[in-house]
Structure 1
Amino acid sequence: MSKTDTTESTAADEAAGAELSTAPKEDREGRGDAVTGGPVLGAVGWIRWFWRQLTSMRVALILLFLLSLGAVPGSLVPQNSADEMKVQAFKDAHPTLTPLYEKLQFFDVYSSVWFSAIYLLLFVSLIGCIVPRSLQFVGQLRSRPPGAPRRLDRLPAYTTWRTAAEPEQAREAALALLRKRRFRAHRAGDAVAAEKGYLREAGNLAFHVALIVMLVAFAWGQLLKSEGGKLIVEGDGFSNTLTQYDDFKSGSLFGTDALEPFSFTLDSFTGTYEKSGPQRGTPRTFEAAVTYSRGGADRKAVIRVNEPLKVGDSKVYLIAHGYAPVVTVKDGRGKAVFHGAVPLLPIDNNITSTGAIKVMDGYRDQNGKKEQLGFQAFFVPTFAGAGQGTMFSQFPALDFPVMALTGFHGDLRVNAGLPQNVYQLDKSKMTQF
């Protein structure tokens, strides 16, 4: 081969290689760096792409996982919607974590921005996934299975066999066999067409529809719900009005006029505990005997754990219990200036409790000046005994009740215009006896 032929062949190869190259045309032509042209997504294209990603099953599973993961701090960290006292106790015990948790909304997980965003995205994803699939499934149910192909060798799997039966007999036998095996089958010309698998898709759709219904019910319940707490001492009563609650929360669509009109009196409370064995101190019985009325005759009922009192659409639950010692405070002349049950706040499983006794008008100093009295109370239902080295309760029942008091006199600051915790004393203007 001559040198000229070799050169021409090499040039032809290079030209062919350039045509087959995946490099940008500008680079192949030696005109510097450039970006290749291609399909450009406009605003509508990006919206379609985002919608397809959001309504895919993969994204729905990811959102469902994130929702369950987001509920973890709601289970581990005290929530304002459940018990504000526990939230405050957690903040007092963890001053370093509290600012971080407040920024992350860990004390209000289920109403936080990030949990609501996951919830809404999951809801939209399920709706966008279920609606077209449901329409497609209905269309499949209304249509017949497709006819048999003319060339079986184009199918991924097929088989043949010979029979001495007439064609009509073979078709009838095939039709009966397929229907017996729960295929949707029908005659399609000279063949029998059959299809199955609809029940699996129906179950899949039913599961997702049930999940949507659950999400809708949860959201609807959050909008219309109302819940509140009230500390009731044995012998006291309660009327279902807004002013009677110690704390009350409701959804944005709830109106106070929707409160069920009823009232009840706590006649007695019974609590028993395991007295021996490895489960000593475990609660065995929590029962509240009440007398309730709904605008008619009085009725008797017993409220137990997970067995609420049902009055119309309202339910009254037992959520906690403690002790309220009956305390009498007398002045120097022997006159009773305070008498009543003082609810105390449990601080452990053995119901070691703390609280405050506030006497608004019951003391005059040496100069005749009227002062208020306050007592910091520490109560144990079962005292270990003198010299045992601990004041904490040894058992939750009233086996050896003891209460220690620390007295103060001065100004309780109850008229300062600021709300006070009923279990604590403001000692800023008081002097200890």
Structure 2
Amino acid sequence: MAQILAPTSQWQMKVTKSSATASPMTAKMWGSLVLKQNKKGPTRSSTKFRVLATKSEGYTINRLEGLLNLDLTPFTDKIIAEYIWIGGSGIDVRSKSRTISKPVEDPSELPKWNYDGSSTGQAPGEDSEVILYPQAIFKDPFRGGNNILVICDAYTPQGEPIPTNKRARAAEIFKNKKVIDEVPWYGIEQEYTLLQTDVKWPLGWPVGGYPGPQGPYYCGAGADKSFGRDISDAHYKACLYAGINISGTNGEVMPGQWEYQVGPSVGIEAGDHIWASRYILERITEQAGVVLTLDPKPIEGDWNGAGCHTNYSTKSMREDGGFEVIKKAILNLSLRHGEHISAYGEGNERRLTGKHETASINTFSWGVANRGCSIRVGRETEKQGKGYLEDRRPASNMDPYIVTSLLAETTLLWEPTLEAEALAAQKLSLNV
């Protein structure tokens, strides 16, 4: 499982100046130049105009940067809250801002809000109002100060979760006493791919062409191996600042592809942290002029896909004798393989082919240290007789609320029939 890291010092995105020669100009300076120009009569050449235009552009950029980095705390108690929710596709993140009268520490202190669901594919035009319920708060790494990011879920005006609200169902499972007593931990490995803006081709790849074959890119360094490190590092620091449980990051097997890990997180917190981290990544790539995709197989052919491997353990798995509990959990997972696959992300069949460190989507398997299985158990877990399992089936675009709650439900709340359990145990023993 990933190690929990504490937030570091404040980090802010800054706007790059467009010209090294551009310098701030006060209104007085600009007026003086214009006055002198008028006194001299018609301009004799266009050179002076071009110089003034350059200085004006630099002045505008410097003013914009200054406003973006304004610290509001000495002047007002008011803060900006960015309300974030999941859109109609189930994978897109939406957000809008509102002013809150004072800093808050808990989502319960924030008001509910509404949005136009007909514009996000979540409500009809004749009854378009959808209500946002604040659920989790993170520090805003873009605005700094006391400003916050707010993870919300969505409801009808009557208080019913809308169909794309998967958090509500997950929260019910995580509130079950059996689940609470087992303190489920999650460590989620989010893979993603960076694309060039206009051509939608991976970052660092020749347009319309291919780089050298996979091999040197995984955790690689160098201009010919690592593409997008600044984005990965910026995202890492921004997540730490926000209070997200990000525990690491690395370059992935396919060039232009990266991964970061979030966890260990307990229960519903895992989903909140992944969604907040995805939103921050979307904002950073927006500023960098790069396109983010969570497609599980962005490039067809002999290239790795993108997954969201989910490491999972319960209190019983982490204690002495936990390996037997893990094997019982794997048995349950085998019996609900179809149900899990159907909920583990769109387009996952293009990724789970049995190649490129995946198992076949049609066959459940497990093994120790085997990345070609549905479920991998680490060598250390086998040696210690306790630990965790890794579900390697979820796609990079999976909904973490669905995956985490389904793992808890299948392993802690669902009980197979004795006959099904016996048949599954026999089948799994042949696969090991």
TM-score normalised per structure 2: 0.27
Q: Which has the larger radius of gyration?
A: 1
TM-score by length of structure 1 reads 0.27
